[in-house]
A = this chain, B = another copy of it.
Amino acid sequence: MARRPVAVLGATGAVGQRFIQLLDRHSGFEVVEVAASDRSAGKRYRDACNWRLSGDMPEAVADLIVGGCDGPFRANLLFSGLDSSVAGEIESRLSRQGAVVVSNSRNHRMDDDVPLLIPEVNPGHLAVISLQRKRTGGGYIVTNPNCSVVGFAMALAPLHRAFGVEAAVVATLQALSGAGYPGVASMDIADNVIPFIGGGEEEKIEIEPKKILGAFKDGVFVPADFTISAAVHRVGVTDGHTMAIFVRLRKKASPEEAMRALADFRGEPQERRLHSAPSRPIHVLEGENRPQPRLDRDREGSMAISVGRVRKDAVFDLKLEALVHNTIRGAAGAAILNAELLEARGLLP
C-alpha cells in the first residue's frame, strides 16, 4: 500500500532528526520533503544536517534538498520540530494554507481550539478540530505535550480516572537531549546537576497536564481540577527523563490498587494497533530500584513509559517514580503517534 507523503519541518534539529529516524521504514508515512531555516535551505539534507543520532542518516532522506518552511508543501501532513522562536507563526500560516500540522513545539499547545494530545489519554479532545477548521478554512494544528509532561500525564491519567487526583508534586531529573543541540555545555553538567531548565519548563509541567486530563465540553476545554508543583533538574544522562511524583487522591487507594490501574491502562492506540503504539503504554516495574533511564527508556521502541516504586506517602497518599524517553515518546514519537491516530480516525485529507 502506498505510504502517505509527509514533510518534516525543522528537519535538521534534534527533534527533526528523530522524526527522520523514526519515519524511516514507517508503514504509513514516507518523508518526501524536509524543511529548515534559510541557512540550510537549498542544500542536500546530508550536507545541511549534522546528524547526531546513532547509526547513519537514512539514505532515502539524505539526498532530499532542504526547502524553506514557508510552504506550500506537496505533502499535506507536516511534522513540525521547529524551534519555538519561529514555530508559532509558521504553523499558523501553514494550517491556514490547508495543511495538517502535527507539532512538537510549545507555541500552540494551550490554544483554545488546538488539541494537546496523548492518544491513550485524551483522544476525545480531537473533537475540537472541527472548530479549528472553521477558523482556518481547512487545515489544522495538533500538538503533543512537553517531553516531561508526556510521562507525567500518562502516569497521572489512570490514577486520575480511578481515584481522582487532588494535587501532585513532581521533581524531574531530565536528560541532556531535551535541550536540543548544542544545548547544555559539557562544562555545565560534567560532575554536576543543574536545578533549573529555561523556557518555562516548570510552568509547562504545572499547566499542560490540567488541559490534557481535563474535559472538552460544549466546545470548550475545562482544565482538570487539581494543582501541580514542579521542580526541574538537568542531569548528565543522554536520554530519558526520570520523575519523582507525589500525589494526593480524592478516593484513597493502596499502592497495589494504583499499580493495577497503571498496568491495566490502555487506550485507542492499543485498540487500533497503531504502528507506533506500545502494547502496554505503562510498564509497571517490580525492581526496588527501577525505572532507570539506561535500562528502561527503550521499552517497546521507546514508546512505553515506565513506573516503579509505587508506595505510600507520609504527606500525600502515594509516591512513585516515572520515566519517559524524552525525544521519542516525549517528542517525535509522540507526534507520529498523534498523526497515526488522525489517520486511523479519517481526519487526514
Partner-B contacts on A (CB < 8 A): 14, 52-56, 167-169, 171, 173, 176-177, 181-196, 206, 227-229, 231, 233, 235-238, 240, 242, 244, 246, 288-299, 308-309, 313-316, 319, 321
User: Which residue of A14, A56, A235, A314 has the most chain B CB atoms within 10 A of its CB atom?
Assistant: A314
Closest to A190 in B: B238
B235 and A173: CB pair below 8 A?
yes
Copies in the complex: 4
A247 to chain B minimum Cβ distance, whole angstroms, is 10
List 27 interface pairs A-B (beta carbons < 8 Å), by A numbering: A14-B187, A54-B296, A168-B315, A173-B173, A177-B187, A181-B187, A182-B188, A183-B187, A184-B185, A185-B185, A186-B188, A186-B189, A186-B236, A190-B294, A191-B293, A192-B293, A193-B293, A195-B244, A195-B308, A195-B321, A196-B289, A227-B314, A228-B314, A229-B314, A229-B315, A231-B246, A236-B236
Q: A236 contacts which chain B residues (CB < 8 A)?
A: 186, 190-191, 235-237
How distant is the Cα of A61 from the Cα of B315 in the complex, in angstroms?
42
B292 and A193: CB pair below 8 A?
yes
Closest to A239 in B: B191
A189 to chain B minimum Cβ distance, whole angstroms, is 5
A284 to chain B minimum Cβ distance, whole angstroms, is 13
B185 and A298: CB pair below 8 A?
no
A169 and B246: CB pair below 8 A?
yes
Of the candidates B177, B229, B233, the one whose C-beta lies within 8 Å of that of A173 is: B233
Q: A54 contacts which chain B residues (CB < 8 A)?
A: 294-298
B229 and A319: CB pair below 8 A?
yes
